[in-house]
Chains A and B, each alone.
Chain A
Amino acid sequence: MNTSGWIQLILFAAALLVTAKPLGLYLCKVLDANGKTFLDPVIKPIERLTYKLTGVDPKQEHDWKRYATAMLLFSLVSMLFTYAILRLQAVLPLNPQKLVAVGEHLAFNTAASFTTNTNWQSYGGESTMSYLSQMVALTIHNFVSAAVGISIAAALVRGIARHTSQTIGNFWVDLTRVTYYLLVPICVVFAVVLVSQGMIQNFKPYDSASLSDPFTTQVPKVDDKGAAVNGPDGKPVMVDQKIDAQTIVQGPMASQIAIKMLGTNGGGYTNANAAQPFENPTPLSNFLQMFAIFAIPSALTYFLGRSVRNQGHGWAVWAAMFVLFFAGVMVAAHYEAAGNPNFTALGVDPADGNMEGKEVRFGIFNSALFATITTDASCGAVNSMHDSFTPMGGLVPLLNIQLGEVVFGGVGAGLYGMLIYVIIAVFIAGLMVGRTPEYLGKKIEPKDVKMASFVILILAFSILGFSAWASVSKMGAPDATGALTDGTNNSGPHGFSEILYAYSSCTGNNGSAFAGLTANAPWYDTTLGFATLFGRFAMIVPILALAGSLARKKLIAESAGTFPVSGPLFTSLLVGTVLLIGALTFVPALVLGPVVEHFLMHAGKLF
């Protein structure tokens, strides 16, 4: 890794460390229904009006069941709303490109994906979604799905912090306050900063530019109806096409990108996502976007420490996340810098590393760093193509997602996922200090272990189960001959990685893709859509049940015999638990994908 890489990494770590406390303190105010913030003069009236219009009593708190019901209802209704807009976009306004209605499978997939904070995109935004769809149907989820995640994390933290309490907060209040006081204000500022870096924000139709250097490419020949024409050998007939003009995307980009990063949504305005020059214009915008992904998750650990009155615990969790993040960056950067030995034989300077699929403006390290961050969190924005990473470089994002995206993680989701590992770590290791395991004064009882186990189980079940199904069936888009394929772009372990990555990404609510998979086919759209729903709601409900169970418990007094949940020992334990419990599940799959591919690459075989 070169010096500029190190400087960048150190700056990034420093920014995270420095902002965790102030932002965390602000989060404490936002997540307290009676908290006072400096924005109260502006926002409080709007907040009050919202409660009045919706009939919410902000003073009333709910038990976990009501909290969960409210969250599920809200998600269902907002998902249906998005589905409706996508299906009707052709007849709705703000559609200068005259884009047609989104198909039913894709609309389901997209609605599920955005509701769950996944933002998996089986489509290219600029060629599929109208301005209205982008701004209303999708962007609204960028805000509220992030707010839901933070609310759930807050509910769980309340469950941990409270004792002999029936309630864990009011979902509607959490949702409203997170959106109004946290996400919207920061996004307004962030969007302006992004515009200052050259990001676009307009409602113009797409622009077109003449290429100074036109070129010719081969495309499949199509008949009048737009269907591919096959030759006598059954393969499509290819014809030359001269490319002399380029469509340049326009639209309200900065406003969407701000929340895309801050809310760890990741759904790109354009298909190229953060590699597109408008969507990521400068090194500074690149840095800020990466920082925006981790900012809230990092601050949430401070919120945790503050809420449970054990700041050491908050920092220990932060440190465990940082260790895992740092290791990921190092591995990914190492393998990307090492590159592909087969290219050296073709005359590529090995010092260049693996530049395939990378934006030259960002280079190896910034791509590896971005890939690690976006998959540590459940963001899914990309500034390089993960599909083109070296096998081991690509293993890092894949594993990050499979661990449950608990390395800072998605807004809220990262913290509540990590707290599940904390419960499991405390349970197993807690026995070893000779007492019934306890976490911050709460005994971990069968019910709590059941809920935590269920979360881990769902993760394995959805990722491995769907991947196994997909890898033995031919359910993907039909090939040129009309025969169904498995949808992968590559064969062998690389193709397998594409499938595995897709289900990992959707279950983990990440949304980034190993781009090779042609996922916009009915079966994939449907199963991936369900994976996003499992990954979100099948986890949140047991987590809320856990929060309710913890909140009801009596507090046990602290003593020298109490299991320590702060300090380097706990951090190591937590890292070890994430790696042992989380990673062991995926070892066989990772070996059959990236690891085998790695060794084959060194043996000269590519896919």
Chain B
Amino acid sequence: MAAKTHSIFDPAIIIPAIGASFQKLNPAHMLGNPVMFVTEVGALITTALLFSGGQGASFGFLLQITLWLWFTVIFANFAEAMAEGRGKAQAETLRKSRTETKANRFRGDGALEEVPSNKLRKGDVVIVKAGEFIPGDGEIIEGAATVDESAITGESAPVVREAGGDRSAVTGGTRVLSDVIKVRITANPGETFLDRMIGLVEGAKRQKTPNEIALTILLSALTIIFLIVLISMKAFGIYNGVDFSITVLVALLVCLIPTTIGGLLSAIGIAGIDRLVQKNVLAMSGRAVEAAGDVDVLLLDKTGTITLGNRQAAEFLPAPGVTKEAMAEAAQLASLADETPEGRSIVVLAKEKYGLRGRELNELPHATFVPFTAQTRMSGVDINGTKYRKGAADQVKAFVGGNLPGAVQSDVDRIAGLGGTPLVVASNEKVLGTIYLKDIVKGGLADRFERFRAMGIRTIMITGDNPRTAAAIAKEAGVDDFLAEATPEQKLALIRKEQEGGHLVAMTGDGTNDAPALAQADVGVAMNTGTQAAKEAGNMVDLDSNPTKLIEVVEIGKQLLITRGALTTFSIANDVAKYFAIIPAMLLVSFPSIAPLNVMKLASPQSAILSAVIFNAIIIILLIPLALRGVKFRPLGAAKILQRNLLIYGVGGVIIPFIGIKAIDMMVAALHLA
């Protein structure tokens, strides 16, 4: 499954969402969202008033207010339905990866039987042959095979899966390309990672996260407060000889309670999980996504996350009396027959650094190539009687028959001491120099870590290397700290120590011995290629098995929280303008002298109230894209982010409705709606 984003305006999502917005009007559903529930009750009251006549105001005005109150509820439902629709679409893509297949299951008596894959239960053992689909999530207990996992990861290169070790997990829906494996199924139908994820993105099994609960409490309290405000206002009106109509009071109530955030809250949560899925990361709960935003320590494995998987040639160190060019040429010739990434990197270095053109094997028809093997640990070529060799120091030493020159030996020792791999180059008996193979830090990481530092997130590199090597790479990559010669126990201890210091830790892992650490970490992202134990221990699974993605996971978590806070601030700040629109309108008839309070110069009391209600409803629709996409995230320190967002959503939240209500009022007046 390749990461796929759905357009916000995809009709395939919008049309069913419109239907769902009406189904969600069911009060039993609305109860989960107190703000919108009160809005719906308000709409019901004005509807009842509309049909009972009365209230003095014109029927057209009452009708419009009532309709817009209903729209407010429907728009909020629509936002939720949109988020769920996008999640469903995402889930559908996931589901397609699960092909219904037949499985060859071992019966109790050891014989094989053919069953549909959806009949498999946890603990069943199946045989999968080349060309067959793996029928469910499981673990290889016997054999090894190459597996095409492109359906899940989008990566076309087949991967090797084998019994025992850290690469034993297989995912349902992937295809075995070679060999035969025996797989123990580890999940019942409907309980696989995909199933859990589908449940989450569809919103069906979504539980409110602690942050959502806390926010809902605050929003409910504000709703109750404004209920008190409006009820008391009726009484205050009576004292002052002003009879406020119920319709207008309900309109004011709906405008004041935080409908904007109340309407968009669940959409924001679903969309956050959805964004993770788009990155091919499956979260086990919404809570895990929020925890990712809180993380302030990242444990990153060196290999694969910070450095490329393989070492590469970085430098040629010629022996005394040998020119760099001569050595580079010999190194290149000796490496032509070396198909390992290390060997290729020597050819590339010679070409890029010394301008030696790349040579192909077939350019040298009279040459005899000595390919690299794990046994000889040396490769080379014989041309016109000259034997070029490159390989591990002791192998080359044996080849030249004698000791390496003192300068070369010290280079070799120095490189080994730095954690690099020294390769020695020779032609016939002459030692030409040393090639320095080292870990290559992935591009752009230093910048990324710098941004993390600004956000207050510390990065710690975990490596099995010795401290000296680790320090060198840590410095080059720009991580804040490192754990060298790390064992799984040390990793776990480090997480505990950081947590005791009040930090929240995120890490990635794949091996079974990573499982305790994954479970201990606040956010544990297991690689999909990892073992079942690792996947169960973590609270997220990365289908692409790309450890660098941890960084994006953190950003998505933060974005989710920021979006929620921003829209809450915006929603509350909006109340100022709504008061300025509605309160003068309510009092103008009884107290004409308060006209200066009508600062927006709204056309008439009725159009003022109507405009505020329309604004209140439409802003929900307008903010749906923001809720679904999330507020743009910037990697800055908390103070800067706060300042920026307070300006946009706080100050902006005060100003924008003044403009919006005025604009709507002009339209309402021009169309003679009120």
**Chain A residues near B (Cβ < 8 Å):** 424, 427-437, 441, 444-446, 448-450, 452-454, 456-457, 460-461, 464-465, 467-469, 471-472, 486, 492-493, 495-496, 499, 554-557, 559-564, 567, 569, 572-573, 576, 580-581, 584-589, 591-593, 595-596, 599-600, 602-603, 605
B113-121, B460-468, B587-595 - interface stretch: B587-595
Task: Tell me whether B565 and A429 are in contact (CB under 8 A).
Answer: yes
Assembly CA distance A573 to B649 (angstroms):
12
Given that A432-B641, A434-B293, A469-B235 are known contacts, is A585 also in contact with B562, CB under 8 Å in the complex? no
A596 and B217 contact, CB distance less than 8 A: no
B578-605 interface code vs A (CB 8 A; 1 in, 0 out) = 0100010001000101101100000000
B220 to chain A: which residues have CB within 8 Å? Answer: 453
Nearest B residue to A450 via CB reads B217
Closest to A495 in B: B239
In the assembled complex, the Cα of A495 lies from the Cα of B238 at a distance in Å of 13
Is the CB–CB distance between A446 and B579 below 8 Å? no
Stretch at the interface among B89-97, B172-180, B501-509, B613-621: B501-509
Contact: A449 with B641, CB < 8 Å?
no
CB-CB nearest in chain A for B224: A457
Looking at the complex, which one of A446, A467, A492, A586 makes contact with B240 (CB distance below 8 Å)? A492
A495: B residues at CB distance < 8 A: 239
B636 to chain A, nearest CB (A): 9
Residues of A within 8 A of B15 (CB): none
Q: Are A428 and B218 in contact (CB under 8 A)?
A: yes
The CA of A433 and the CA of B557, in the complex, are separated in Å by: 11
- Known contacts A431-B211, A456-B221; decide if A585 and B641 are in contact (CB<8 Å): no
Find A559's partner among B228, B235, B457, B558 (CB 8 Å cutoff): B457
Chain B residues with CB under 8 Å of A555's CB are 502
CB-defined contacts of A432 to chain B, threshold 8 Å: 561-562, 565-566, 569, 641-642, 645-646, 649
What are the residues of chain A within 8 A of B558 when measuring CB–CB? Answer: 434-435
With A561-B637, A561-B638 known as contacts, the answer to whether A496 contacts B650 (CB < 8 A) is no
Residues of the A chain whose Cβ atoms lie less than 8 Å from the Cβ of B229: 460, 464, 585-586, 588-589
Contacting pair A580 B240 (CB below 8 A): no
Instruction: Collect the chain A residues with CB atoms within 8 Å of residue B596's CB.
Output: 599
Instruction: Tell whether, in the assembled complex, residue B231 and residue A569 are in contact, meaning their CB atoms are under 8 Å apart.
Output: no
Residues of A contacting B231 with CB < 8 Å?
Answer: 468
Of the stretches B29-37, B277-285, B314-322, B448-456, the one at the interface is B448-456
Residues of B within 8 A of A469 (CB): 235
* A557 near B501: Cβ-Cβ < 8 Å: yes
* B45 beta carbon closer than 8 Å to chain A: no
Inter-chain contacts of A437 with B (CB < 8 A): 211, 214, 565
Q: Is B290 at the interface (CB under 8 A from chain A)?
A: yes
Known: A456-B221, A493-B240. A430 touches B458 (CB 8 A): no
Q: Is the CB of A434 within 8 A of B641?
A: yes
Partner of B594, one of A452, A496, A562, A599: A599
C-alpha spacing A476/B239, complex, angstroms: 14
Of the residues B233, B296, B503, B562, contact of A433 by C-beta under 8 Å: B562
A468-B232 contact given A434-B293, A434-B561, A561-B457, CB 8 Å threshold:
yes
Nearest CB in chain B: distance from A342 CB, A: 13
Chain B residues whose CB sits within 8 angstroms of the CB of A499 once the complex forms? 239
Cα–Cα distance between A456 and B222 once the two chains are bound (Å): 9
Q: Can you list 10 residue pairs at the A/B interface with Cβ under 8 Å?
A: A434-B559, A434-B633, A435-B638, A453-B221, A460-B229, A464-B229, A467-B232, A559-B458, A592-B237, A592-B240
7 extra interface residue pairs, beta carbon distance < 8 Å, beyond A468-B232, A556-B503: A429-B642, A431-B562, A432-B561, A434-B558, A496-B236, A560-B456, A561-B456
* Nearest neighbor of A557 in chain B, beta-carbon distance: B502
Q: Any chain A CB within 8 A of the CB of B568?
A: yes
A486 to B576, CA, bound (A): 32
B residues bordering A, Cβ < 8 Å? 210-211, 213-215, 217-218, 220-222, 224-226, 228-240, 242, 256, 290, 293-294, 296, 453-458, 501-504, 557-559, 561-562, 564-566, 568-569, 572-573, 575-576, 579, 583, 587, 591, 593-594, 596-597, 633, 637-639, 641-643, 645-646, 649-650
List 5 tightest A-B contacts by C-beta distance, closest first: A431-B565, A561-B456, A434-B558, A559-B456, A453-B221
A429 to B568, CA, bound (A): 9
The distance in angstroms between the C-alpha atoms of A446 and B568, with both chains bound, is 16
Q: How far is the CA of A449 from the CA of B597 in the complex (A)?
A: 35
Q: Known contacts A464-B228, A465-B228, A580-B576; is A599 also within 8 Å of B593 by CB?
A: yes
Cα distance A586–B220 when bound, in Å? 18
Closest-CB distance, B634 to chain A (whole angstroms): 10
Separation in Å of the B569 CB from the closest CB of chain A? 6
Q: How far is the CA of A454 from the CA of B217 in the complex (A)?
A: 10
C-alpha spacing A434/B457, complex, angstroms: 12
Identify the closest chain A residue to B555 (Cβ). A434
Instruction: Name the A residues within 8 Å of B290 (CB-CB).
Output: 436
Interchain CB contact (< 8 A) of A445 among B214, B235, B242? B214
Establish whether residues B583 and A588, one from each chain, have CB atoms under 8 Å apart when the complex forms.
yes
Q: A444, A456, A587, A592: which contacts B579 (Cβ < 8 A)?
A: A587
Min CB gap A43→B, angstroms: 39
Name which residue of chain A comes closest to B225, CB basis: A460
Name the contact of A562 in the complex, choosing from B561, B591, B638 (C-beta under 8 A): B638
B501: A residues at CB distance < 8 A: 557
- A557: chain B residues within 8 A (beta carbon): 296, 501-503
A430 touches B296 (CB 8 A): no
Residue numbers in B under 8 Å from A591 (CB-CB): 583, 587, 597
The verdict on A433 contacting B240 (CB below 8 Å), with A469-B235, A556-B502 known, is no
For A585, the chain B residues whose CB sits under 8 A away are: 225-226, 229
Q: How far is the CB of B214 from chain A (nearest CB, A)?
A: 4
When distances are taken between beta carbons in the complex, the residues of chain A under 8 Å from B457 are 559, 561
CB neighbours (8 Å) of A465 from chain B are 228, 232
Residue in A428, A446, A456, A561 with the greatest tally of chain B CB atoms within 10 Å = A561
Query: How far is A427 from B503 in the complex, measured between Cα atoms in Å?
Result: 19
| B218 and A435 contacting across the interface, CB-CB below 8 Å | no
Minimum C-beta distance from A171 to chain B (A): 28
How many angstroms from the CA of A599 to the CA of B242 in the assembled complex?
16
Residue of B nearest to A460 (CB): B225
> What's the Cα separation between A448 and B220 when bound, in Å?
14
Complex formed: what's the CA distance from A444 to B568 in Å? 16
- A453 engages B594 (CB within 8 Å): no
Q: How far is the CA of A464 from the CA of B224 in the complex (A)?
A: 12
Expressed in whole angstroms, the Cα–Cα distance for A428 and B211 within the complex equals 11
Residues A460 and B228 in contact in the complex (CB < 8 Å), given A429-B569, A436-B290: yes
| CA of A467 to CA of B290, assembled, Å | 43
CB pair A435 B293 closer than 8 Å: yes
Q: How far is the CA of A289 from the CA of B215 in the complex (A)?
A: 42
- A595 to B593: give the CA distance in the assembly, Å: 11
Is the Cβ of B228 less than 8 Å from the Cβ of A589? no
How many angstroms between the C-alpha atoms of A588 and B504 in the bound complex?
45
Of the residues A434, A435, A454, A492, contact of B221 by C-beta under 8 Å: A454
Residue of B nearest to A561 (CB): B456
Q: Give min CB distance, A484 to chain B, whole Å.
A: 15
Closest to B239 in A: A471
A580, B453: Cβ atoms under 8 Å? no
Determine the chain B residues whose CB is within 8 A of the CB of A584 once the complex forms: 256, 572, 575-576, 579
Kindly identify which residue among A427, A496, A592 contacts B214, using a CB–CB cutoff of 8 Å.
Answer: A427
Do the beta carbons of B293 and A562 come within 8 Å of each other?
A: no
Closest partner residue, chain A, to B233 (CB atom)? A588
